[in-house]
Amino acid sequence: MKRYYSAMNMRRDKSVRAFGRACKVLVGGVDSPVRAFAAVGGGPAFIERAAGPFVYDLDGNRYIDYVGTWGPAILGHAHPAAVGAIASAVRRGSSFGAPCQAETRLATLICRAFGSVKKVRFVSSGTEAVMTAVRLARGATGRDKIIKFAGCYHGHSDALLVAAGSGATTLGIPSSAGVPAGAARDTLTAPYNDPDAVGRLLKKFRGKVAAVLVEPAAGNMGVVAPAKGFLSGLRKLCDRHGALLIFDEVMTGFRLARGGAQELYGVRADITTLGKIIGGGMPVGAVGGPAKIMDNLAPLGRVYQAGTLSGNPVAMAAGIATLELLQNRRVYADIERAGRRLETGLLRAAASAGLRGKICVNRVGSMMTVFFRGPPVRNYADATGSNIRAFAEFFHAMADQGIYLPPSQYEAWFISARHGPALIDRTIRSATKAFTRAARLM
């Protein structure tokens, strides 16, 4: 069904034409699949600019933004400090392919925030960071197998594009064409929030598992918080079986707390992957951990990794400006208040629309998802039981009122420091109308 936002004050003519032109030269008209709106129907708004908590499309429509460029915009879009740092850096050269002091400065800020990280290797994306972390874990342990969790997305490298089958001991099955079975053979899957399933895998493949890889607070099946004892249970299991624990904090790092999920939940990872916020909106990723693990990377060790744009000076400058501002912990307190206000308001709005007990709002700090199914949502199986038709109706109803949400039931909403009480309350009022529309499909 071809559908665009329908409100009279939300004309989309320019976006429609732009999408048509893009489809002629870009695959699907986009450069990342979720942007095509296939999960909700219709076509995307083409964004022309962003500032603070808002994005503006080609037709001049303004939206309160809860995508936040999928996480990095914790301080709001185009923060003056980041923009100034980028402008200053690019005047000195956009890329060197050689060491620069900005790399050391940004790595130092990361190490100060994460107690488990003593050394850092910068890369250019979250996908590349996790791919490197897995290779590093295998090289450091001399083992091949990796355990990941159903519904946790760790980028599009071959070995991690694996879907869970039935049961905790299911071997990896490629979930994308072009991924050979051999590439996924050593990837094992378990249900999220089920440490017992991980224990069974570690026993079955005793001495063969290099690492357990997890989003400490999941954000790629929608937001799913770790159950009490889940992360600490993984830590104990890894210690017992000689496997490394990898926290994919590409989303959660510097978002849930300055020290990420590790600070929030008090569980130490052996290897940490970061991205998004540490680049201040510029493309970046990082792998970090103690020296005894990190020094396995070339040029000190035998695990090879390289990249021309790794440590790009413009991305480093934007990251430094952002992380320096995030040293003010009041930012996190303010965002937590905004998140709590939005969560409770959405639950009230749903109840007023007759959806009490029929939706689930999962939130961890400034990350949240509204699932169109009754609570609880604890894992991938729960999440995929959502009513995606009702979500699509809700999504379009919110967009009609100028609220820009992720165009998929299975993505996280992101709240920024610029989402003040007035914008949160406007979002809740819009949600009351949107839930009423969606209720017809529940």
User: Which residues are catalytically annotated?
Assistant: 153, 248, 276
**What span, in angstroms and rounded, lies between the C-alpha atoms of 19 and 37?**
11
Q: Is the CB of residue 289 less than 8 Å from the CB of residue 137?
A: no
Integer Cα distance of 267 and 280 in angstroms: 26
Identify any residues that bridge with 332 across adjacent strands, giving them in sequence order. none
Phi/psi of residue 64, each to 5°? Answer: -75, 125
For residues 365 and 333, give the distance between their C-alpha atoms in angstroms, rounded to a whole number: 9
Task: Tell me how many helices (H) and strands (E) the chain has.
Answer: 14, 16
Query: 101-113 and 313-325 are packed helices; what angle lies between their axes, rounded to 10 degrees?
Result: 30
- Per the rule left: phi > 0, alpha: psi between -120 and 50, beta: everything else, 286 is beta
H/E stretch holding 145 reads strand 145-149
Among candidates 104, 89, 110, 194, which has minimal Cα distance to 148?
194
**Alpha helical stretches, state H, 326-387:** 330-352, 380-383
Q: HSE-up of 410 (CA within 13 Å, CB side)?
A: 18
As a whole number of angstroms, the distance between CA 135 and CA 132 comes to 5
Q: Decide: 362 and 368 in contact? Cβ < 8 Å.
A: yes
Please, how many CA atoms are within 13 Å of residue 277, restricted to the half-sphere of its CB? 29
Q: CA–CA distance from 366 to each of 68, 191, 337, 428, 438 (Å)?
A: 11, 24, 9, 16, 24
Three-class SS state of 134? helix
Indicate if the alpha-carbon torsion angle 271, 221, 53, 84 is positive or negative. positive
CA distance 296 to 294: 5
Bridge partners (DSSP) listed for residue 119 = 289
Pairing verdict, β 62-65 and 162-163: unpaired
